[in-house]
Structure 1
Amino acid sequence: MTLMIIQLLIVLLALYVGSRYGSLALGAISGIGLAILVLGFGLQPGKPPTDVIYIIIAAVTCAGILQASGGMDWLIQIAERLLRKHPNHITILAPLCTFFLTVLVGTGHVVYTLMPIICDISLKKGIRPERPCGVASVASQVGITCSPIAAAVASFVIISNANGFNINNLQVIAITIPACLCGLMAAAAVSYKRGLDLDKDPAFQARLKDPQMKEYMYGNTASVLDKEVSKEAKRAVFIFLGALAVIVFFSIMQIAGHDIRPQFPTGKVVDGVAQVKPLAMNIIIQIVMITAAAFMVICCKASPKKAVAGAVWQSGMVAVVAIYGIAWLADTYFANYMDVMQSGLKDIVQHYPWAIAFAFFAVSVLINSQGAVVVAMLPLAYSLGIEGPVLLGVLPSVYGYFFIPNYPSDIATVNFDRSGTTVIGKYLLNHSFMRPGMVSVIVSTIVGTILVKIFY
């Protein structure tokens, strides 16, 4: 038992140190922990999550080329028009915009262009920017468990199918989208009158008295409405949406009992009959995404070099390395001590299976990746005997990295807010994202649990 605890501390230390360095270091430093466990302690290495990695590569390549085509700019323009048309309701509309952008594209990193616009609209309208900005940043990450092409959803489907819970991407988001929308609206509600109004905030009024600071806050207007969107960019958006529609169509037909996926022999013969099985949805997603990316390059003048240099593709590749290292390290540790964990946690799991949500949340605080949490923790959850519907209900709990405000979207939001109201507090945890993040995750997880009880 002592050795097991020492090795667990090594795993946690690797995750902690990796999260401090961020970016590629998160996956690379996990490799140090893996080397210590395997080469130092002689543990049998687990399996790297190749299926999940392939989906991320395909989806991120498609989204990156969409960005290179200019299609992302069109989506941001549509969102900006909505926000500027209804500025009084920006605390509700801003998180909805960032949420659905992430749902469409599968990554929360598409919202960086929209964040300065949210800050600008709220400031010019006299609304404390912290209110929409805090919840909008949270919403951009919440949308990951609601996107049919996101790593977290794809990972959940792959691992669940391997453990006897037959479910597809559409069935997952049919639970997570309404659950997370309820959570986000609750978060928006508690943010609606959060903090002092700007005209009553002494800190803001003190900054306003400085002419240079006043010019900095009010002198410029953040907008993408003046950016010309080409017909090729719009065409790229339609190709991307068409690819999503194809993926959803395969899932709908599967749910309806008319599975149209190609069938291939398994190599097994039962009672003289050759067995076949349908092509896995993760393979279909990869094929569709790569094909859509190719059409955007050919038909929409999207530059592959520009895509590789873009924020979406680069952040996606960072996620690949992070999931590769983290999931391999976690699988190595858990696989070697599965019997011990099953016996130790058996009573808790039997009586309170939903308590696994606390473990999901805690791990997410450490590793800053919802996909990595799913890949690392879901096999353990299934091995403990927790049923698939329970795990689907608590899936929103894999978002916990708002807790320590070191994630790029949160840091960027603080910098975008020229009013200075969106902050990382003096005591680190008293920051602008804590309240909307906690409310969103708690409400989403409760609603998700209720929904699976109704439908499963």
Structure 2
Amino acid sequence: MIALQLAVVLAAIFVGARRGGIAIGFAGGLGVLVLALLGVSPGAMPLDVISIIMSVIAAIAAMQVAGGMDYLVDLADRFLRRNPRYLTFLAPMVTYLMTFMAGTGHTAFSTLPVITEVAKENNIRPSRPLSVAVVASQMAITASPISAAVVFFASAMEPHGVDYLELLAVVVPSTFLACMATAALMMGLDRLRGTGALSTHPEFQRRWATGEVVVAGRQDRQIRPGGRRSVAIFLVGLLGVMTYATLISDKVGLVAEPVMERDAAIIAFMLATAAVIVLACKVPTQDILGASTFKAGMSASICVLGVAWLGTTFVSANEEAIMRVAGDLLASQPWALAVVLAFASALLYSQAATAKALVPTALAIGIAPLTAVASFAAVSALFVLPTYPTLLAAVEMDDTGTTRIGRFVFNHPFLLPGTLNIAIAVCLGFAFGSVIL
């Protein structure tokens, strides 16, 4: 029976991934229904994760309509053009920081065109800075103080003696340094191969000769009057979340009996941030519903709802068998948890969904807190299948033809830097965790 249930789960994920976008959430719900027809009781719905995603996206969308995203992209544009020689380092730094601040990787959409143009203007093959930047935006989800994945993981680790602040103290430096190390390794590889210059790429030469490549140059953006103000308000909200989480932390002990738990506080702070932005920046609320970040965020919520519910349904129905089979392996080879999380995230399409589906079972098996925290970065293996929205956007935006998905699906420019990034982040996680935890 477990084989049949697993086949249903994989079939649902495959169908959803083939259709792309929100379809994977729909397919997840279909998979839950099929499992229910087979006699499996549906698992717990990830409503806490969904609520956090929706509240954060509401604040981000309000900031975007107020002009805040244009302001941030303009800052990124100036920053990247000032140091084009180091684009392969600076591009992932920008996407990492924007995702870290916003709690969603969808902020990378707005910076990918800038990265592409700066690369073309400076004879840099766009596929390298684009690939490491997309991977960095995914990795930063496991370090953002307000991402649903981090919030859930922190709540799962607290009973095991690891609080929110200790978690951030491990995952922030390990993931960021891993992104920079990956950029250095990939840049060194390009130099050894002699493939770093855009002018050496045959496909670019062909497209340049036929006029298919356009170098637009820097664009002057009209920043709305409330743009800077909305970013400042959002940052205050972010600091409010981190301050409150610090005050109620058991390790700090300043507030013994908080009025709100951390999850509820994040939702309240983010909705309040959206309200202040709307009032202070005079944002038309009807425009928020049409904002690209709002649409992408709500799509992500449906995806997480479907696949996380499908994953928890399968795992909870077969928890004893999974614990029996995986327990001995993970006890002798604890690093294998990172491999399991990476494989699962490639299928489940979401860091939060992967954490929700597998982390509680891993902890129940007896995985050490250090191993769990160090392996957490592995839930960002969303780059394995070339179907994730930011990955596809990078391919579409690179008109030089250097960022392409090969005929064999897995031979794409995101796989190697992504795998290196996760491997380095997990190793650094063990190093930092052994000192901090």
Same fold (TM > 0.5): yes
Alpha-carbon contact 1:109-1:311 (below 8 Å) kept: no
- Partner Cα distance (1:326, 1:306) in 2: 29
> Aligned partners of 2:34 and 2:209: how far apart in 1?
57
> Which of 53, 56, 60 pairs up with 2:50?
53
Output the amino acid matched with 1:126. Answer: N
- In the TM superposition, what whole-angstrom CA distance separates every residue of 1:372-396 from its partner, at most 9, and x where no partner exists? 1111111221121113332111111
**1:431-453 CA distance string (max 9 Å, x none):** 11112111111111111122112
User: In the alignment, residue 10 of structure 1 is paired with which amino acid?
Assistant: V
SS of alignment partner, residue 413 of structure 2? coil
**Is the Cα–Cα contact under 8 Å of residues 396 and 444 in structure 1 kept in the other structure?**
yes
The residue that corresponds to 1:118 in the other structure is 115
Matched, 1:247 2:241: yes
How far apart are 1:237 and its partner, in Å?
0.8
- Contact 1:236–1:300 (CA under 8 A) maintained in structure 2: yes
Give the one of 285, 290, 313 matched to 2:294: 313
TM-score (norm 2): 0.94
Unaligned runs of 5+ in 2: none
Q: CA–CA distance in 2 between the matches of 1:335 and 1:166?
A: 24
Q: Over residues 97-137 of structure 1, what are the superposed CA-to-partner deviations in whole Å (9 max), with x where a residue is unaligned?
A: 01101111111111222111111111111112222111111
Amino acid at match of 2:147: A
SS of the residue corresponding to residue 302 of structure 1 reads coil
Amino acid at match of 1:231: P
Kindly report which structure 2 residues correspond to 1:406-421, keeping only aligned pairs within 5 A, or say none.
Answer: 406-421=387-402
Structure-2 residue corresponding to 1:272: none
**Counterpart Cα distance in 2 of 1:205 and 1:433:** 22
Would you say 1:221 and 2:201 are equivalent positions?
A: no
| Cα distance change of structure 1 residues 180 and 261 upon mapping to structure 2, 3 Å threshold | same
Unaligned stretches of 5+ in structure 1?
264-276
Distance 1:426 1:336 in 2: 37
Q: Moved runs in structure 1, 4+ residues, more than 6 A?
A: none
Match of 1:360 among 341, 344, 349: 341
CA RMSD of the aligned region, Å? 1.9
- 1:179 corresponds to which residue? 174
Partner residue in 1 for 2:22: 24
What's the TM-score, normalizing by structure 1?
0.90
- Letter of the structure 2 residue corresponding to residue 233 of structure 1: G
Structure 2 residue 340 is the aligned partner of structure 1 residue 346: no
> Counterpart of 1:207?
207
Task: Choose 1 or 2 for highest CA Rg.
Answer: 1
Check if 1:370 corresponds to 2:351. yes
SS in 1 for 2:335: helix
- Corresponding residue for residue 271 of structure 1: none
Q: C-alpha distance in 2, partners of 1:297/1:204?
A: 45
Q: Deviations over 1:30-86 (max 9, x none)?
A: 122211222x22222221112111111111111111111111111111111111111
Match of 2:124, SS state, is: coil
Q: Residues 170 and 436 of structure 2 are in contact (CA less than 8 Å); yes or no, is this contact kept in structure 1?
A: no
- 2:118, 2:77 → 1: CA distance? 9
Amino acid at match of 1:153: V
Where does residue 297 of structure 1 map in the other structure?
A: 278
AA of the residue aligned to 2:49:
V
Partners of 1:250 and 1:260 within 8 A in 2:
no
